[in-house]
Amino acid sequence: MKRFVFLVVLLSSFGLSADSNKSLTINNLNITVTGEYKVEVYKGVKHMFSFDCRPYIMCRIYTTTKEDPEYKMMDGMVYESADLKPLAIENIEEVVGYNTNFYDGNIRFFVTITTPTAAYGHRTMYTVNTETGGVAVNREEWDWYRYGMPKPKKNNSCFSIAYC
């Protein structure tokens, strides 16, 4: 009887721990969001973009409709603002530009990664074209060398015409 109860409890707990996947289709792209830590974008069966925060200690994914969103940053962490919404399927919106010569609809993901001391980190804007699936990446990063930078290894090879 104890084994039966243990088996029932074990099997009933599987559904409680599973993350829910939610999907959305915008133009030619299928977007899947898992929790608030992972996003995947496919065009048909072809992978176009994905980001997963699980391998990082301090990582956040936001969605935005702005090319240059306003936000507050403290100790290396970016905080939610009117321009940055937390990753959720209902927060993903397509932004269509004003150029009539071609279709330029985009979705944007703003990813922040930092360390607990904020000595290293980066903010990256991924802009995904909703027609072609092409991805533009714009990154800003910082690093603090508390004890100075290491001296580069000596390398006498020269590839630049201006310096050789």
Strand ranges in 14-100 using DSSP code E only, listed in sequence order: 21-26, 29-34, 38-43, 46-52, 58-64, 72-74, 77-79, 85-86, 95-96
Residue 61 and residue 134: Cα distance in Å, rounded? 19
pLDDT at 62 over 50: yes
Return the sign of the alpha-carbon dihedral for residues 97, 77, 40, 87.
negative
pLDDT at 73 over 90: no
Of residues 25 and 153, more confidence is placed in: 25
Over range 103-126, report the average pLDDT.
Answer: 92
Residue 22 and residue 122: Cα distance in Å, rounded? 27
pLDDT at 132 over 50: yes
- What does the mean pLDDT of the chain come to? 85
Q: pTM score, two decimals?
A: 0.78
